[in-house]
Amino acid sequence: MHLAARLQNLPPYLFARIEEKIARAKEQGEKLISLGIGDPDSPTPQTVIAELERAAGDPANHRYPTSAGMLEFRQAVVSWHRERYGVELDPRSEVVTLLGSKEGIAHISMCYVDPGDINLVPDPSYPVYKIGTILAGGEPYAMPLLAGNDFWPDFSLIPGEVARKAKILFLNYPNNPTAAVASRERFQEAVAFARFYDLIICHDAAYTELTYDCYRAPSFLEVPGAREVGIEFGSLSKPYNMTGWRLGWAVGNAEIIKALTTLKSNIDSGVFQAVQYAGIKALTAAQENIEKLRQVYQQRRDILVDGLNSLGWHLDKPKGTFYVWAPVPRGYTSGQFAEEVLEKAGVIITPGNEYGACGEGYFRASLTIGEDLLRESLERLQNAFGHLDVARPG
């Protein structure tokens, strides 16, 4: 059997490889500590679980849902955006429900990209921006995210002939994997660039609610003109510990939302309505969960960053996400350091080059394990390596 070229061109999915390493280690009786995958370790709020149980028992929810999602869920999304950002949306034309934001991010390229077209993809970045581009027959063009520019793409470095061929510009702030944040002024710069080159901006806003030290991340849609050029993807996974529930949304430009809804209507049958009712409960009655999570992750962030700094790093504390992005010690590549940390310390970190060529020289560590395990991972690093020679970021 001959695989289609679109699959042959895909790299193995990063987190699948991490899961394989963990499974092999468990089979051999090793006790690993994984800082590799950003999957919240806290449970979904009980009020959300109770709503799922109630709605799952209602026969009205046992039939096909709509591809666009229940109007009630879309209205809850609109209300949440109004209260959180002051952004007004039309629930009928400017919102579509997704089987998790990953699904929409992966599919949006199929709406606009023909073979040979270009998408502008941050490097390093969440792998699905690139993967969705390849599956649609497009070519990802890497936009370096460098410490010297606060991990924001320098649009002036993109050749005009590339920008004119490009269809979609992907952004993601607070950023995975770098944990960088972006200002409204940065988003305004992106809007101006998109207008000039007739681009679509797709902003992945999965981490806007996980911010610290009194910082609150803006929505891309707060910026004047943003709705004319783009959409924003939202997710219940991270702020409500609902990664396994697979529920998210896209909001913004009505034409783009219509295109994505049309595609979805031809390839999926929507989200189980009981899950959507649970999502409504999360958006309307579980806001206290977010503040608790912020406190938990901020404490973990402080433990990990302070601990790494005591071992030779020179890290500032990130203002968003539940990741720490750190340079590897001198003399190591990203892959070499990750392998040694696994072999010598029994700790899994993600090598930065797995997120793109510009991630070389870094690693990502996730804060989705308890404080005791974080401290143990630091002890293991100290026992295995002692004090390390690490350059200052940037």
pLDDT of residue 392: 85
pLDDT of residue 160: 97
CATH code, domain with 351:
3.90.1150.10
Tell me the HSE value of 101 on the side-chain side, using a 13 A CA sphere: 24
Of 257, 286, 315, the one marking the end of a domain is: 286
pLDDT of residue 17: 62
Asked if 188 and 79 sit in the same domain, the reply is yes
Helix, coil or strand: residue 18: helix
CATH code, domain with 162:
3.40.640.10
Average pLDDT over residues 312-337: 97
Query: What pLDDT digit, counting tens, does each position of 172-195 carry?
Result: 999 999 999 999 999 999 999 999
Asked if 237 and 355 sit in the same domain, the reply is no
Query: What pLDDT digit, counting tens, does each position of 284-296 carry?
Result: 998 888 999 999 9
Mean pLDDT, all residues of the chain: 94
Asked if 193 and 247 sit in the same domain, the reply is yes
Token pair in block for residue 232: 């924003």
Q: Where is pLDDT greater, at 204 or 20?
A: 204
CB-based contact 109:138 (threshold 8 Å) = yes
d(CA 369, CA 271): 29
- pLDDT higher than 80, residue 13: no
Q: How far is CA 64 from CA 59, 67, 69, 123, 138, in A?
A: 11, 9, 11, 39, 33
Q: What percent of the chain shows pLDDT beyond 90?
A: 88
Least confident interval from 37-41, 60-64, 108-112, 199-203: 37-41
- pLDDT higher than 70, residue 259: yes
Burial grade of 25 (CB within 10 A; 0-12, 13-18, 19 or more): middle
Least confident interval from 1-5, 181-185, 217-221, 317-321: 1-5
Asked if 275 and 298 sit in the same domain, the reply is no
For helices 71-85 and 273-285, give the axis angle rounded to 10 degrees.
20
Q: How would residue 9 be classed by pLDDT, with cut points 50, 70 and 90?
A: confident
Average pLDDT over residues 262-283: 96
Residue 226's domain spans which residues? Answer: 46-286
Query: What pLDDT digit, counting tens, does each position of 200-242 carry?
Result: 999 999 999 999 999 999 999 999 999 999 999 999 999 999 9
Asked if 336 and 257 sit in the same domain, the reply is no
Asked if 87 and 210 sit in the same domain, the reply is yes
Asked if 15 and 50 sit in the same domain, the reply is no
Helix, coil or strand: residue 121: strand
pLDDT of residue 378: 98
Average pLDDT over residues 294-306: 98
Kindly report whether the peptide bond that precedes residue 43 is cis, defined as omega within 30 degrees of 0. Answer: no
Asked if 299 and 321 sit in the same domain, the reply is yes
Average pLDDT over residues 39-65: 96
Token pair in block for residue 289: 């969960």
Q: How would residue 23 be classed by pLDDT, with cut points 50, 70 and 90?
A: confident
Asked if 29 and 55 sit in the same domain, the reply is no
pLDDT of residue 16: 63
Asked if 260 and 353 sit in the same domain, the reply is no
- pLDDT higher than 60, residue 58: yes
pLDDT of residue 281: 98
Q: Is residue 394 part of a domain?
A: no
Of 269, 286, 303, the one marking the end of a domain is: 286
Q: Is residue 393 part of a domain?
A: no
CB-based contact 252:232 (threshold 8 Å) = yes
Token pair in block for residue 196: 């000039």
Strands (E), 133-229: 139-144, 166-172, 200-204
- pLDDT higher than 90, residue 79: yes
Asked if 149 and 9 sit in the same domain, the reply is no
Q: What percent of the chain shows pLDDT beyond 70?
A: 97
pLDDT of residue 244: 95
pLDDT of residue 287: 86
Of 286, 312, 347, the one marking the end of a domain is: 286
pLDDT of residue 394: 67
pLDDT of residue 27: 77
- pLDDT higher than 90, residue 7: no
Across the beta sheet with 166-172, what order do the strands follow?
95-98, 248-252, 230-235, 200-204, 166-172, 118-123, 139-144
Query: What pLDDT digit, counting tens, does each position of 94-140 carry?
Result: 999 999 999 999 999 999 999 999 999 999 999 999 999 999 999 99
